[in-house]
Amino acid sequence: MFTSPGILLNTGSQRLFTKIIVTLKRRSSRKSTLSNLDRARHCVNDEFDYYPSDTTIWKSLRSTDINRLTRNFLWKCMHEAFRVGTFWDNIPDLHHLAYCPACAVPDTMEHIALECDAPGQKRIWTLCERMWKLRFNHWPRLHWGLILGCALPHFRSARGKRLRGKERFTIIVSTSVHLIWKIRNERILEGKIITDIEVENRWISAINSSLRRDQILTNKARFGSLGKSKQIVLETWSGVLQNEDALPDDWTRSKGVLVGIWPTTRRIGVGGQSPTQRLVTCA
């Protein structure tokens, strides 16, 4: 006769009850988070004619193409959790920290990643474009929204066939913006003077680390369902490897596989190194 709402305690699990409790709580959304979600959505739509939902955007931040520390970094960027820019406006005697010391403009994450004149970001994005054009012609115009949604783009050929460049775009953009942030912190917080040569060496080292990470993750016996498809890894890095013609067809288990992009500057004078020597040193 009577219908009681809910479920019996002895028929549910702790996981199920936790989900129910979470759904009952109202979550207030931050304006900055909603703004960044919209920026990512519209930038991806403008460049790739694809309109992702909020759920898709959040899921993309957990992409296995991005290493764990960089995933955390992008998640914090989406929420504007870093203490930059307007964060310092309400802190007495620290208002000057809200401005970029190199450009004298508000020090936002977008400015740090794309606009700052201090050594680092321009050189890194130039290297990204050079690496991309080793295989593809068009390098997308970068916006802050596209960086936040770097795991969202769908690259397709003129015939509509999917290109594996998506994985490489995700890897190089996420790795690069995280490196820009780390270099900025070393310059601002630690007072380090970072040269263009060091920037290039560190970028090449970071990209080679991503390559080695992909190689390791192809070990299905070790990682199981968390591993990466060997075919996808081979297609992702094809065309950008050093001495690729001399590598075996399946180089995922080979040691010493490096990206084949050369730095744009070289050290001149006593003790100088050739590009080949520097590339091996970075690896």
Encode pLDDT of 226-236 as tens digits.
888 888 899 88
Instruction: Give the three-class secondary structure for 150.
Output: coil
More confident residue, 127 or 266: 127
Q: Count helices and strands (H / E) in the chain.
A: 12, 0
pLDDT > 90? residue 75: yes
Find the mean pLDDT for residues 154-163: 75
More confident residue, 66 or 26: 66
pLDDT at 73: 97
Range with the largest mean pLDDT of 26-30, 76-80, 157-161, 162-166: 76-80
Q: Which two tokens stand for residue 70?
A: 């960089």
- The region of weakest confidence among 135-149, 181-195, 267-281 is 267-281
Directed axis angle between helix 31-48 and helix 68-79, to 10°? Answer: 110
- The region of weakest confidence among 98-112, 123-137, 193-207, 263-277 is 263-277
Directed axis angle between helix 196-217 and helix 165-189, to 10°? Answer: 140
pLDDT band (50, 70, 90) for residue 240? confident
Question: pTM of the entire structure?
Answer: 0.82
pLDDT band (50, 70, 90) for residue 268? very low
pLDDT band (50, 70, 90) for residue 280? very low
pLDDT > 50? residue 278: no
Exposed/middle/buried for residue 45 (C-beta within 10 Å: 0-12, 13-18, 19+): middle
Find the mean pLDDT for residues 179-207: 93
d(CA 283, CA 274): 15
More confident residue, 148 or 29: 148
pLDDT > 60? residue 271: no
d(CA 151, CA 58): 10
- How many Cα neighbours within 13 Å face the side chain of 235? 11
Find the mean pLDDT for residues 124-129: 94
pLDDT at 136: 84
More confident residue, 159 or 67: 67
pLDDT at 43: 94
Directed axis angle between helix 196-217 and helix 275-282, to 10°? Answer: 50
pLDDT > 70? residue 170: yes
Residue 39 phi, psi (nearest 5): -65, -45
d(CA 120, CA 245): 32
- Chain mean pLDDT for the chain: 85
Dump pLDDT digits (tens) for 59-69. Answer: 999 998 999 99
pLDDT at 165: 65
pLDDT at 2: 57
pLDDT at 265: 53
d(CA 93, CA 237): 49
pLDDT > 80? residue 158: no
Measured at the alpha carbon of residue 58, what is the angle toward residues 15 and 236, in degrees to the nearest 5?
A: 115
